[in-house]
Structure formats: C-alpha cells, structure tokens
Amino acid sequence: MHITGDHAELVVGGRLDVRSAADARLALHRAVDSGEGDLVLDLSGLEAWDATGLGVIMGAHRRAGRLGRRLVLRDVPPRMHRVLVAARLHRILTIAS
C-alpha cells in the first residue's frame, strides 16, 4: 500500500488491508487534520481492501466530518464499488464519478 499526495488529494494504491491499516490511518489523519475543504482519495490504483481497510476509510470519513471537511472517494474500482453498495456505505460516503 502506498499513499501519495497533499492535504487536499491523496492517491491510494496497492492493498489497503490489516497489514497496511496503521500506516494508512496515520497518513489519512495527517491529511485530514492539516487541510481545509474536501479531501479527495483517488482509489484508481487500489488493488484490494479488506474490512480493516474499509474501517480506515470510514474512520477518516468520520474524522473529516468532525473537522467540517468532506472525504470524497474518486475512481473507486468497480469491485470495490459493489462492496460499498452492498454494505449501503454509498449512502454515507461521497463517491465522485
């Protein structure tokens, strides 16, 4: 898993799973805490995520909301989008086309 970008846009690639969750959480919290406005997560390079990785995304979403920001998921791979729909998280998270 790798995350690159600044406080306004992050590109997430690789696998977001139990092994990478701590590093991802830290990077996302730093980005949320240090910026203003929307935080865009470009997920086009994300190969897979597990429940822990999804929990990291949801935690960042809640943290952003508490700070008056919005977490926006962009270029969600189709397989992962289906998971969000099945879990009805597409109603909670902001997903850009």
Q: What is the pLDDT of residues 52-86, one digit of tens each?
A: 999 999 999 999 999 999 999 999 999 999 999 99
Decide which of 27 and 3 is more confident: 27
Q: What is the pLDDT of residues 4-57, one digit of tens each?
A: 665 688 989 899 999 999 999 999 999 999 888 999 999 999 999 999 999 999
Reading the block at residue 83, the tokens are 């998971």
pTM above 0.85, yes or no: yes
CB 63 within 8 A of CB 35: no
Residue written as token pair 């929307």: 38
Q: How many Cβ atoms sit within 10 Å of the Cβ of residue 27?
A: 20
Q: How many Cβ atoms sit within 10 Å of the Cβ of residue 69?
A: 21
**Residue 71 identity:** L
